[in-house]
Structure 1
């Protein structure tokens, strides 16, 4: 074939599949439950901060994100040299792997887990080492013993997603500490905490404590989920200064917009009110789980703002049935469906659907 050709690894990158919006249904209110978005709009103070930043969008944003770094450092009790911001935690995954991985290196991660992991691994030139999550009654969990066994002298990074997207269970702090004791200190261990605010369980992961104790731990966090800023794309990493310097070095200049920075700062200052909304969503998650189980369905533990249905070959028919009911869910072909916790009316619609379909 004539003409420029991309690198072979680029052609092999799997596409990222976003959650689709619902199809309009006559006489039926539809709900988007496919993207793990916060259903509540931003708080008024956050909107005002964003509007003020819009007035100066003819100017480049502060490339150093100085005000956001200062706010995060004060809140987390860490120096700014341990922080890196980017356009969502997805960008941080790409930046970290670009900075630390190349051909011949390996990245260990659970699977099924966050869809962007294998994409970022392939883009970096490294080789992904997916380790199956557990199955059965206590399924959807990271198999940390198997992941530790998968670490070799070629491993550069391990990715831990807790709670795990899309299956739902979260790791305990004890789990992660035990795992870190088995991993060589030169291997970076990412603790991806995109849904940390929704966790309600004994012995939850304390990412900040892990980071203080282990130089090879990297935390990824985002404003997209609990803080409701998915449309603005801003996340941050907490890591050793040397790791942060490498991540910043490969980051896109001016990547985080002025609007995103202003909204993130305002959201941090309104954290108490925002976390009240998170508590409301957690209560709705519990109500959803109760309704699912009352309808006779079995699902894994849910510690994020979503629930996983392990459906295998019936994933397609279930997705179609949900669409007919006005619910847009996120299918993973041949594996299952992830359903976001959203408005109470959407929960009611889902439970009604589950009571009349049998695809298990």
Structure 2
């Protein structure tokens, strides 16, 4: 018997989340942070004003039901408000889903390497991770994931585009996968980078959710909308699943200021797409330049590119740091680089050219 308070064993087993680090200042260089998949642009038109106005009521609790945000999302997406659940970023929804649907001994299937919050949330919830290796091209192996589903499986996570490797799942392969998964298993289509996808047969998340009673979409205002600091994500899910997500949510978790900023961001759709299209153009350009200097990279459908470096991962990250750009290394798997400022990407290409040689 311990003589001091001891957390539950699963809490002690939680893997650490490694956030993207800020750049180390370099004399004579402007430093850039490409380590967190943040949007490099300032707030969309009208958003700062809406947030500032909302901040004047900081002495009041936010709307716990996020009713104005739900109304705005319902109108934009064409879904009932009962099929929505907001949270402090889409990462919170992962925790809530596991909390709502899993207990000890239950399994959550997901690709690996994928979003590193998955194993953390599963461990916090006392469930068991079933990690299915990606293909050599950094893609989900949906056949292998379907084969990994057992009678203990409660949730399957499909991250598309996959963070950190970049490829996205196509609609036809997702449909084939869903046909193999029992309907009592919740299938999450995690679309944090939805707006950046440019591919044939791209997933239509809303149509997929409407066609399947077990499909949940996770989306966020952190990436394309540039509200990473305000923490607003939402789920689109069949009513009973959405209700379960709301039931286990942190009360007042999405602040009044965050809700106001998210609503204003939805109203700035034209400006949003101009920025997203510019980032996609930079992504296409930098991938082409990297391939020109000898790199074989996975398909990039998010706002980032993936360097499959293996044992050279720490050295590449250090070289980028010396060039005044922070990137996100993943152990000895590779490095993820956000599509950010043009000058920062030029430096990445220079470093990568030296490594390729």
TM range, smaller chain = over 0.9
Distance in 2 (alpha carbons) for counterparts of 1:187 and 1:357: 44
- Does structure 1 residue 199 correspond to structure 2 residue 193? no
Task: Give the match for residue 13 of structure 2.
Answer: 12
Q: Is the 8 A contact 2:293 2:356 kept in 1?
A: no
CA contact (8 A) 2:225 2:272 kept: yes
Matches for 1:273-288 after TM superposition, within 5 Å: 273-288=271-286
Alignment of 1:65-104 (within 5 A): 65-104=66-105
Secondary structure (helix, strand or coil) at the match of 1:107 reads strand
TM-score by length of 1: 0.98
What does residue 236 of structure 1 align with? 234
Partner of 1:327 in structure 2? 325
Q: Deviations over 1:115-136 (max 9, x none)?
A: 000000001111000000001x
- 1:313 and 2:311 equivalent? yes
Match of 2:178 among 159, 177, 180: 180
3-state DSSP class of the match of 2:261?
Answer: helix
- Give 1:14 shift: 0.1
**Alignment partner of 1:121 is 2:122:** yes
Unaligned runs of 5+ in 2: none
Q: Secondary structure at the match of 2:250?
A: coil
Once residues 112 and 2 of structure 1 are traced to their aligned partners in structure 2, the CA distance between those partners, rounded to angstroms, is 39
Distance 2:152 2:237 in 1: 22
In the TM superposition, what is the alpha-carbon distance from 1:346 to its structure 2 partner?
A: 1.1
Structure 1 residue runs without a partner (length 5+): none
DSSP-derived class of the 2:85 partner: strand
CA shift digits 1:320-358 (9 cap, x unpaired): 111001110000011100000011111111111112224
1:254 aligns with 252
Alpha-carbon displacement from aligned partner over 1:107-165 (angstroms, at most 9, x marks no partner): 00000000000000001111000000001xxx100000000000000000000000000
Which of 141, 144, 148 aligns to 1:143? It is: 141
Write the mapping of 1:209-220 to structure 2, written as runs, cut at 5 A: 209-220=207-218
Q: Distance in 1 between matches of 2:337 and 2:68?
A: 36
Deviations 1:200-229 (Å, cap 9, x if unpaired)? 000100000000000000000000000000
Contact map agreement 2:295 2:356 (CA 8 A) in 1: no
CA distance in structure 2 between the aligned counterparts of 1:355 and 1:317, rounded to whole angstroms: 14
Q: Does 1:3 align with 2:4?
A: yes
Residue 355, structure 1, aligned to residue 348, structure 2: no
Paired residues for 1:25-36 under 5 Å: 25-36=26-37
- Alpha-carbon distance in 1 for matches of 2:231, 2:171: 28
TM-score after normalising by structure 2: 0.99
Q: Compute the displacement of 1:44 (Å).
A: 3.5
State the partner residue of 2:265: 267
